[in-house]
Structure 1
Amino acid sequence: MLIPPDSSKAQSDRAKSETIRGSDDNEPPSYYASTSESVAPSTPPSESSITSSVPSPVPPKPEIPPDPEIPAVNHLVIERTNNSIRGTWRVDTTKAIPQNMLPPLDGKETVRPNLKLKSTNGAINAKVELVADEKQSRAVIKAQTTNGSVEIQLTSPRGQKCYIELSSTNGAVWAYIPRSFVGPITTKNSSGSVKFAPAMTPNVVTFSETSGEGSHFIGDYEACGYGKGDWQGDELHLKTTHGSIKIFYVGEGEAEPSGKGKGKGFWSGLFGL
């Protein structure tokens, strides 16, 4: 059936078609709209509103992963002849070691050291970290050499106490101890000086200095009960012949010690020493 162009139905169909085409005008404008369009300026938001409304960006992961943690050791003994001993060790006094893997005690030893370094004709340079906390029994650290210097830096991040023996023949003995150290210090040298670092001096009580032997205490010996029973706190014993003895807090220092068998200082670049 043909419908004349001017009929009312044809006019109605054209009106609907125009209405549908006109609805395109209500769609969102393109994101690439012309810059010639007039846009009303807006006031930039304040810094506080940006901080509260925009989440903080997640920091990027480091490009280089950190070095793996050094494995902890216990009852480690290293002995060398005509060679130096240098290294870094983390000592965990709670770490169990098979009995058949432990070396025999020296004739004079009654307590097995948690770390023992011994050299003949060589220097000893060691950085030692105590892993356990203050609830554990104190760690025993020993370093001994002949014809060389001894330099030990000890840290105890969790507050474990320590018993340290350092000795040398024909070489300097330098000890770096944590600021938490509270306990007696004995020194013995036949030819050489004994020096405490300036930052440590106000905390040092000297009981005696006779015939090359000194007896000192770092901290308040009365408040901590020293001398009233079996002492299980910090102790430091330093001995040498023909060399100086120096005691520092960790992070302090000066030029590396000199002495026969002493090579480049292990800590020469550490902490700007």
Structure 2
Amino acid sequence: MMILTSDNIDQKAGLLDRTPASDIHPPPYTSTTAAQASLTPNTEAHSSQDLTYAYDVPPLLTERPCNWVYAYNAYDPNTSNKNQYILDPSLKVPSSLISEAAAEVQEGDRDTLNLKAGTASVDVVARIVDSGGGGTSTTKRRARITLGSTHGSVKGKILSVSGSPTPKFHLTATTSTGNIYIHVPRSFHGPISASTTHGSIQFSDGLRRNTTTFADGQKKKCFVGDFAGYPDGDGDDDTERKEEWDELSIETQYGVVKVYYADEWEVKQREKAAKEREREEKRKMNEGKSFFSKIFRL
């Protein structure tokens, strides 16, 4: 698989010394009580040393912000598009350096990140920054992320970066015969449209508490946060105003859809790791008891 990216463009080197945000800000409408309730499982300090999962590994300092990244893995079912990216939708990339796939799309319609696969899975962590410079327009633009696979699963975790403005993004995730797992920051504020022909759609408890549902079942439409002021039309003005909101568009035919807050997933992974360590310690202790029992019987 060949991946052509704009990673070598560094117009925002100053962003590299910043650390990932904890993504714990509730949507604007959330009351203090509700926010505290939704954060109850996540009271411990986040330490990267406690995490052994790929999703929780901080980006290397050598990684650069990128934009208009397109990649496709057609045939290899034994590999996955598993990568981490720092995305800057304001980054201006010289046309001579972008991929052919990106060049075929009008600049105003290009995705910040577009990863697709045939039989392989897609597994991505994207940290979004917005430097506000280097773009071609003064209009603030949300990041556009498209993740898709024909016969594999799709996993996407979206994070912000401390010190950078709260990211706004539109993520589209599709697959025909796989499951879809999406993790969003606590700052997510906007509509979610999710559908599955033969499967189920599940939201985490924390996300569900902040969600108003308008259509349920195998075609779910809902809104996270206060939907007052959300543009109702498809005109140019409304389209531009939608750039100020987050959005999820998720579709699978034969699979399950699960959407979480990112920090909820991390808490579950910590709990899982703690249980695994406890089981391993008990196993070693039992092996030691068995060893000494054999010695004393002799």
Partner residue, 1:121? 119
CA drift at 1:227: 2.5
Question: Aligned runs of 1:100-139 on 2, under 5 Å?
Answer: 100-102=96-98, 103-104=100-101, 111-132=109-130, 136-139=140-143
Structure 1 residues 67 and 215, CA gap change in structure 2 (3 angstroms): closer
Partner secondary structure for residue 117 of structure 1 = strand
Cα distance per residue 1:42-91 (max 9 Å; x no partner): xxxxxxxxxxxxxxxxxxxxxxxx95241111100111122310010001
Higher gyration radius (CA): 1
Query: 2:191 touches 2:247 (CA, 8 Å); kept in 1?
Result: yes
Partner residue, 1:252? 264
Q: State TM-score, norm by structure 2.
A: 0.59
CA distance in 2, matches of 1:270, 1:79: 35
CA distance in 2, matches of 1:189, 1:255: 27
Partner residue, 2:291? none
CA distance in 2, matches of 1:67, 1:271: 25
Question: Aligned runs of 1:39-58 on 2, under 5 Å?
Answer: none
CA drift at 1:271: 9.4
Question: Aligned runs of 1:1-273 on 2, under 5 Å?
Answer: 67-81=60-74, 82=76, 83-102=79-98, 103-104=100-101, 111-132=109-130, 136-157=140-161, 158-209=165-216, 212-222=218-228, 224-227=229-232, 229-230=238-239, 231-232=242-243, 233-253=245-265
Bigger fraction of residues in helix: 2
Amino acid aligned to 2:215: S
CA drift at 1:131: 1.1
Partner secondary structure for residue 125 of structure 2 = strand
CA distance in 2, matches of 1:144, 1:68: 28
Cα distance per residue 1:85-127 (max 9 Å; x no partner): 0010001112211113332459898710010101111111110
- Count of residue pairs the alignment pairs up: 195
CA distance in 1, matches of 2:158, 2:194: 18
Identical amino acids, percent of aligned pairs:
23
CA drift at 1:253: 2.6
Structure 1 residues 191 and 140, CA gap change in structure 2 (3 angstroms): same
Q: Which runs of 5+ in 2 are unaligned?
A: 1-58, 133-138, 275-298
Q: Which runs of 5+ in 1 are unaligned?
A: 1-65, 257-267
Q: State TM-score, norm by structure 1.
A: 0.64
After the TM superposition, list the runs of 4 or more consecutive aligned residues in structure 1 that deviate by more than 6 angstroms. 106-110, 268-271
Amino acid aligned to 1:214: K
CA drift at 1:156: 2.1
Amino acid aligned to 1:213: K
CA distance in 2, matches of 1:123, 1:205: 31
Partner residue, 2:11? none
Query: 1:136 touches 1:160 (CA, 8 Å); kept in 2?
Result: no
Amino acid aligned to 1:209: D
Structure 1 residues 136 and 213, CA gap change in structure 2 (3 angstroms): same
CA drift at 1:255: 12
Cα distance per residue 1:113-161 (max 9 Å; x no partner): 0101011111111100001169831000010001110010001233021
Partner residue, 1:6? none
